[in-house]
Amino acid sequence: MTKRLSILACVLALLFAGVAYAQYPILDRIADKVIQRYQSSSCEQLWQAKGQPHSPEEQKAVGMLKSDPQMRTYFLNKVAAPIANKMFECGLIP
């Protein structure tokens, strides 16, 4: 009985993860691009980019995230840890 519940829980978790991943495929690509940009940038590049204006594409993406709280939560959950780690390494956050 316990074994069946464990298997069922694993199957449900995998299904949920698959649905969550497929929920915003374009947003996943954008998030991956943002993460890649932070991971491949030097600390100096990040410091220089800090005060620069956003591109039209970035402004559009930010507008989408501002208008859809569920989408914003999904995006931030995906990018928060990699970005925060890089910012910490570069001294951009204490």
pLDDT tens sequence across 65-85 = 999 999 999 999 999 999 999
- pLDDT at residue 5 in the model: 38
Question: Number of structural domains, the chain?
Answer: 1
Q: Work out the pLDDT band at 1, boundaries 50, 70, 90.
A: very low
Dihedral (CA of 60, 62, 89, 33) sign: negative
Neighbours of 61 (CB within 10 A): 20
- Structure-token match 């298997």, residue found: 7
Closest CA to 57 of 41, 34, 78: 34
- Six token digits for residue 62: 């930010």
- pLDDT at residue 15 in the model: 46
pTM for the predicted model, two decimal places:
0.67
**pLDDT tens-digit profile of 44-60?**
998 888 888 888 988 99
- Six token digits for residue 94: 């204490």
CA distance 65 to 51: 20
4 domain-assigned: no
83 domain-assigned: yes
- Domain extent, residue 56, equals 24-89
**pLDDT tens-digit profile of 6-40?**
453 444 454 454 455 568 898 999 999 999 999 99
10 domain-assigned: no
